[in-house]
Structure 1
Amino acid sequence: MTALAPSAFARWRPAFGRPTALGALVSVSLFVFIGIELAVLVTVLPTTVEQWWTASSTGDFGNFYNDAKNLDINGLYSPGLSLLMYPLTWLSMVNAYRVYVALGGVALLAVAYLAQRDITLPEARIAMALGIVSIPQMHWALRLGHFTTMLTLVALGGFLLLRKHPILAGLCFALLVLKPQYAVIPALYLLWTRNGRALAAMTAGALVIEVAGFAAVGFSAIGPYLG
């Protein structure tokens, strides 16, 4: 919630650049949001960093790691996930977890940067970025070895690229097929907006990911995957 609240003030500017009572209220409100977000971040970040470095509990990452090592499918996830994660199996599980969570952290920082990039007010930009990196659910996902932050990054990147670079946007959306249920809404949106180029790129990219994944784990896995 804290990540979304500053967006209400993101594009507000006082008339003719003169300070107003409303402008002061907006600034004060944003600084309150920043204070709340910093308090949350100070609470969740140390645990995330400690968990990342000690790898005392790798959560669901162990399942992803073992399935990638054996080139097997993992539940409802695309077989392409095992293929993409296979290089991590050249490391021990602990070191692979550290690399994986670090990449997830970089993805979260990238989401925060992209979200605040077009905001005008400096305090609103800070509030937006802090709001994103302090979301507890994102930290829980990182600790558990989920790739939520990476999927968030490609989804946001897809929507930001959609207007000027529909093909690149479609390729970003294609990566959501790694967790297929996440690809449904973007695909429906592209259909609704009749963005044929983006939809074609998304479909082609998703097919490449799926075919490459099944080629790696074996096409006999199609039945269990669909079942």
Structure 2
Amino acid sequence: MNPISSNPPHTVRRSPLTSFEAAHVRRGQHWLNGERLRTYSLVALVCYGVFLLVYLYRTEWQHRPDFGPLAMDFLPFWSASFLALHHHAIDAYNVVALTAVETDAIARDPGVLPWLYPPTFLLAVYPLALLPFKFAAVVFLGGTLALFVRVMCAIVPGRQTVLLVLAFPGAALVLVSGQNGLLTASIAGIGLVLLRRQPVLAGICLGLLCIKPHLAVLFPLALLCSRSWRVLAAMAATAAVLLVVSVLAFGTGTLAAFLHNAGMIAGFVESGRAALARIPTVFALATLAHVPAAWAYTAQGAAALIGAAAVCNAWGRECSYELRAAVLICASLLVSPYLFDYDLTWLGMLIAWCVRHGLARGWKRYEREWLVGLWFVPIAGVFVVMQLKFQFMPLVVAATLWMLMRRIAQERREPAVLEGGDVQSEPSLVPFQGLQR
């Protein structure tokens, strides 16, 4: 029996949750009520607005040269697109050629901003340079934010979800830096939302994660453990097709160039030349502590194995789907030694699945407080780790995974908790109705 698609005969379906307040009425009041969620979210949005006003004042009024353009990490995306559109895709992996395009785009020296992604991601950014840099950044970042909001609303329907997502510090970090964390988190989220009802479409979505393959490592393992063969086949086929198309479009040399640049960034991290405070991995933790590289890689490998074991446990045996999804997302953040803080936007998806589970099944003590802490983790690298010189963020992720596994074990020990299976709180697919037709 497939533990994902199984519907026990005694299942009693509940109507989809419509708001956080509905759960408070059923479960009793908690200090983190709907009014406080609104207030805290509005305060965060006001802070973002103040930051933007100060930035504009410094750059447009005072013309401060030490304030560079926002979304600087988007510059390699646009520049790689420019080179690909002009039939020089392989030069996207040439730091000198890429830097020349970046300098022309912003009329100043951008520093070293290499293109570090596989040729499959070139397909995703290919049309961006049809627009000027600033307009392309607005379209890309605004579009991925809108997609992220829709996915989060599919997991946790409710009026406050949009406000909470817009106030999420992880989203703000991605917008300011100009990165792709919102895109990859949304792709993973859509795949997990559609997995049980639209397996082929879910597999196609998950196959798109090949644009950042180190984030997708555990997804095939989860699908194998749950015997979700159609999803796994669709995911593999999508990844293979994208790879073939990208090689045909940009040449086989882009694959070798990608591997070369991957080795380059690995050297930066190993030597400490990269901003280790913004790399929330066990490897960065060990490197900051001056542990030899061999031992740091060993520790990272152990973290990856722990994540894989957690996924096998969660997806290979019966438990609520919300916890399965949360475990997969959480464990995926423990695998790669070269994760960056903007990838912690995935924690937003993790929080959403945990909230859905808590609203449907009830909360354990301090679970909500822990989720509040996770909400702030993406910006901890910039504001905390840089001061402490101690990379604690992977420890937070590992602790979250342990809490999720303990909750799963408890559900399995208590049949009453599992009664109704994982279909009691089926995610709302309304935002994706167009995809299902």
Note if 1:81 corresponds to 2:85. no
Deviations 1:9-29 (CA, angstroms, capped at 9, x unpaired): 875653xxxxxxx53x14872
The correspondence of residues 1-227 of structure 1 with structure 2, limited to 5 A, is 14=26, 23=28, 25-26=29-30, 29-45=33-49, 47=51, 56-70=69-83, 71=89, 72-73=92-93, 75-117=115-157, 125-227=158-260
Normalised to the residue count of structure 2, the TM-score between the two structures is 0.42
C-alpha contact 1:44 1:136 (8 A) present in aligned 2:
no
Change (3 A) 1:48 1:64: farther
**Cα deviations across residues 39-81 of structure 1 (Å, max 9, x unaligned)?**
11222256569989x9933311111111122123565422122
User: Is this contact kept in 1: 2:187–2:206, CA < 8 A?
Assistant: yes
Q: Quick one: structure 1 residues 222 and 128, their matched pair in 2 at CA, closer, same or farther if it must change by over 3 Å?
A: same
Alignment match, 2:311: none
Greater mean deviation of Cα atoms: 153-162 or 89-98: 89-98
Deviation at 1:195, TM superposition (A): 0.6
User: Shift of residue 206 of structure 1?
Assistant: 0.8
Q: Distance in 1 between matches of 2:54 and 2:225?
A: 44
- For the residues of structure 2 that align with 1:202 and 1:12, how far apart are their CA atoms? 39
Counterpart amino acid of 1:93? Answer: F
- Cα-Cα RMSD: 3.0
- Which gives a bigger RCO, structure 1 or 2 (Cα 8 Å, sep 6+)? 1
* Amino acid in the other structure paired with 2:226: T
Select the structure of larger CA radius of gyration.
2
What is the one-letter code of the residue matched to 2:257? P
1: CA distance, partners of 2:46 / 2:155: 21
Q: Flag the 1:141–1:213 CA change in 2: closer, same or farther, 3 A.
A: same
- 2 CA distance for matches of 1:136 and 1:41? 10
SS in 1 for 2:126: helix
SS of the residue corresponding to residue 71 of structure 2 reads coil
Q: Which amino acid aligns with 2:245?
A: A
Moved more, 199-208 or 79-88: 79-88
Query: How many percent of aligned residue pairs carry the same amino acid?
Result: 27
The amino acid that maps onto 2:82 is K
Amino acid at match of 1:36: Y
Q: Does structure 1 retain, via aligned residues, the 8 Å contact 2:24–2:33?
A: no
Count how many residue pairs are aligned between Structure 1 and Structure 2. Answer: 205
Q: Which moved more, 1:205-214 or 1:26-35?
A: 26-35
CA distance in 1, matches of 2:151, 2:22: 16
Deviations 1:90-118 (A, max 9, x none): 1221221122122122123213322322x
Q: Please state whether the residue corresponding to 1:67 is helix, strand or coil.
A: helix
Separation (CA, whole Å) in 2 of partners of 1:11 and 1:41: 25
* In 2: Cα distance, 1:172 partner to 1:204 partner: 11
In structure 2, distance between residues paired with 1:191 and 1:129: 34
Give distance in 1, aligned partners of 2:55 and 2:149. Answer: 18
For 1:190 and 1:49, the matched residues in 2 are separated by 46
| 1:115/1:129 contact within 8 Å kept | no
